[in-house]
Each structure stands twice: as structure tokens, then as C-alpha cells.
Amino acid sequence: MPRYALKLEYHGGPFAGWQRQADQPSVQAALESALRRLESDAPKVAAAGRTDAGVHAGAQVAHCDLAREWDGFRLMEALNAHLRPAPVAVLAAARVEAEFHARFSAIERRYTYRVVARRAPPALEAGLVWHHRQALDIEAMRAGAAHLLGRHDFTTFRAALCQAPSPVKTLDALEIEEIALDHGAEFRFHLRARSFLHNQVRSIVGTLARVGTGAWEPARVGRALAARDRAACGPVAPPQGLCLTGVGYPRDPFA
């Protein structure tokens, strides 16, 4: 059976996450339903990352095996027609080798977390950002973030129910940018690693926000990391500010 890679964009708000749920809507179920409109016995799909409820994606990658040969553009168009009106879109589709696996072939994941810091709640960006009512100090947050770069035991920043076999991960990049707004500022946290633990990004952002308000000194982030204790973590940032922005492979399947 020919295998196809799919690049997906979706708004996570209406979904209980990527993974299929017995009694709740999921991105995986929406995509598989669209595939079954094309081939009634289409198998399940696998994704590069199992995003949580409310988390978005701008460049999720999934793969599926189909019975017939499809032109990539026609497959994209057909799936998008059947995905409507769900907030899921196929940005690209491409035939790949049988050994390609959306999850296990990936060599990096990139996430961006957006925070709007101002008193007034966001209207146009509602559901896409974390509304933080206090101002944030970007230099303090960058100083705190420096403690997290590299290879560490991230037990402190790992969800209690995380199923990863090891808490040791290598955080290759953690960059923070500030964008001035008329009545506040937006902060974007860009993180890159081969893989992440469950809730790792949201735990990191929530902790760095504590540093940004002055409630934590930057050095406390390093002490929290060294504690290897979930109780030492700051609050977990809400899901709506998080977006999977890219997945890297040894060879780009969509090039």
C-alpha cells in the first residue's frame, strides 16, 4: 500500500487533542473520517506529536497508507473538501517511502507559545494566546530560560502522567521575543528539541512567567530543574497559547 505524508494545520479549541477519544472529538478522528470518505477501509493515521486538548498546530505531520495511488495535490484537495467545517486543513500531501513514520522518523519538533500581557482581554486573538494580566520582564525570563538549555533530567517540568520512558531530554533552543502592542506586549516563546515530555513546554512557559513578574528570581529556575521534583515547578500555562510550528526530518517529505 502506498504511504502518504500529510502536513496539517488545525485550531485545537474544539478538540480533546490529537489522539482519538471514545466519546470526544479529536483531530485524528476528523482526519480518519475524511480519509474513509475517500477509501472506506482506510487505516488509522499516525502523527509526529500528540497535541493536548486545546493545543494548535501550524505544521503537524501525519502519515497514512492508502489502497490506491494519489497525486499529492488531489489528495490534499479531496481531504480538505471532506474535513469541512472542522477547523483542520491539509496544507500538503506527498508520497513517501514505506519506511517513513511521522513520529519515529522525526529528528526535531518546534513549538511556539504566545502570551499577551495586558490588562484588557484579547478579542481578536481569543483562544490563540494566554492572556496574562501582569507585565513581564523579557530579560529576566531569558536569564531563567538559560538554565534549561541543553541535556537535562526534566522531571520537574514533566506531567505526572507522562508516559515517556525517560525524563532526560535535550532542549536545543529556547528563544523569547517581545512584540510591542498598543496597550501591552506579546511574548513568543520558541522551543526546539528532538522530542518533548508531556506538558514540558507549558510547564516551562508557566515557570518563566513567574520569573517575568518578579515572583521568582531567574536562578530559581535552575534550582527547580535540579530538584527533579514536579512540586518545584511553576504553574502550567494554559493550552490555548501553544502551537506545534514545525517537525523536522532527515529529508523534507514535502520538498
**pLDDT of residue 163 exceeding 90:** no
The residues carrying an active-site annotation are: 52
Instruction: Give me the half-sphere count of Cα atoms (radius 13 Å) on the Cβ side of residue 145.
Output: 24
Q: How many CB atoms are closer than 10 A to CB 154?
A: 25
CATH of the domain at 197: 3.30.70.660
Q: Is residue 252 part of a domain?
A: no
Here the CATH number for the domain that contains residue 41 is 3.30.70.580
Q: How many domains does the chain have?
A: 2
- Neighbouring residues of 21: CB distance < 8 A, sequence distance ≥ 6: 29
| End position of a domain, from candidates 88, 105, 122 | 105
pTM to 2 decimal places = 0.96
**pLDDT value at position 239?**
97
Same-domain check for residues 55 and 132: no
| Cβ neighbours of 201 (radius 10 Å) | 26
Summarize pLDDT for 167-190 with one digit per residue, the tens.
999 999 999 999 999 899 999 999
3-7, 39-43, 80-84: least confidently modelled range: 39-43
pLDDT at 28 over 90: yes
Tens digit of each residue's pLDDT (9 = 90 or more) over 71-80: 999 999 999 9
Task: Give the helix/strand (H/E) hosting 185.
Answer: strand 184-193
| 209 occurs within a structural domain | yes
Domain that holds residue 180: 108-246
From 102, 112, 105, 10, select the one nearest 61 (Cα to Cα). 102
- The pairing of strands 3-10 and 56-65 is antiparallel
Q: Look at residue 43 and tell me whether its pLDDT is greater than 90.
A: no
> 232 and 198, same structural domain?
yes
CA 20 to chain centre: 17
The whole-chain average pLDDT of the chain stands at 96
Give yes or no: residues 93 and 172 share one domain.
no
The pLDDT of residue 42 is above 90: no
Among candidate residues 70, 105, 140, the one where a domain is terminated: 105
Looking at the fold, whether 75 and 112 belong to one and the same domain comes out as no
Residues 36 and 112 in one domain: no
Close Cβ partners of 36 (under 8 Å, ≥ 6 residues apart) = 42
Q: Which of 105, 140, 161 is the last residue of a domain?
A: 105
Residue 255 in any domain: the answer is no
Q: Are residues 186 and 214 in the same domain?
A: yes
Integer Cα distance of 203 and 173 in angstroms = 16
